[in-house]
Chains A and B, each alone.
Chain A
C-alpha cells in the first residue's frame, strides 16, 4: 500500500517571499503520479500542480514548482512570491499502479501567508 507523509503540520511565510512544503511517499510502483492540492477556507479542493513519475523534468505552474526526487521518494512544493490568497491547507497526493485512479493523501500542511 502507498503512503504519503507531510511532516510539516503548519508553515508560515511573509507575503512576496518563497516557501517550500515537504512531502515524502512510499510505493513499490514504477508508474505513478503525484499531485499537490490546495484547500482554502472555502474547503474547495483545487489542483495546484501534478507530476508524472516517468518525467524527469520538474513540473511548474506559474509561481508553483515542484522538486521531484524519485530515488528519494520526495515531492516538495515551492511557492514563489507568496500571496495572501495562497493561505490554505496543502495536500500532497499519490495515484498509481494497481490503485487505479484513487488518490492517497498526506495529512496536509496549513500554510499562512502574512502581510
Chain B
C-alpha cells in the first residue's frame, strides 16, 4: 500500500459524458501527478499540481482539467468523453520539498480504470 488513494476503482460511462476522478496523496506530500496508461499511448504524464498550484502540463487534452484543493487532494475532470479516453488513470504523489525537484520519489495510487462505451 503506497498511501495514495484513488476513487473510484472502476468507472464505466458513455461517450459524451463527464466524469471526475479523485486522488488523495500520502500524508505530507505536496505534489500530485496524473498519468494516463493506455494500450496505444503507454504511460503518459498529464499534469502536476504542487501545493494547490499547477506546476507542469503534459499531453493533457483540452477536454481534461484538474485541480488540487487546500487539503491537497486532487480531482481530474474528463469531459465530452470519447472511446479513446478509455484507460487506466494513475495519481502519484511526492514530497517535492523543493517545489518540483525531481529528486523525490513518486508513489502511485492503485489507479482508476475508465471504460467509455
Total contacting residues, chain B, CB less than 8 A:
29
Q: List residues of B (87-113) whose CB comes within 8 Å of A's CBs.
A: 88, 90, 92, 94, 96, 100-108, 110-111, 113
Q: Which A residue sits closest to B113, measured CB to CB?
A: A43
Chain B residue numbers with a CB within 8 Å of A99 are: 56, 102
Mostly, the B contact residues are strand
A-B contact count (CB 8 A): 68
**A101 with B101, Cβ < 8 A, contacts A44-B108, A45-B108, A47-B107 known:** yes
How big is chain A's contact interface, by range?
A: 20 to 34
Q: Are B45 and A100 in contact (CB under 8 A)?
A: no
B positions within 8 Å CB-CB of A: 2, 31, 33, 35, 42-45, 48, 55-56, 58, 88, 90, 92, 94, 96, 100-108, 110-111, 113
A positions within 8 Å CB-CB of B: 32-33, 35, 37, 42-47, 50, 52, 91, 95-97, 99-105, 107-108
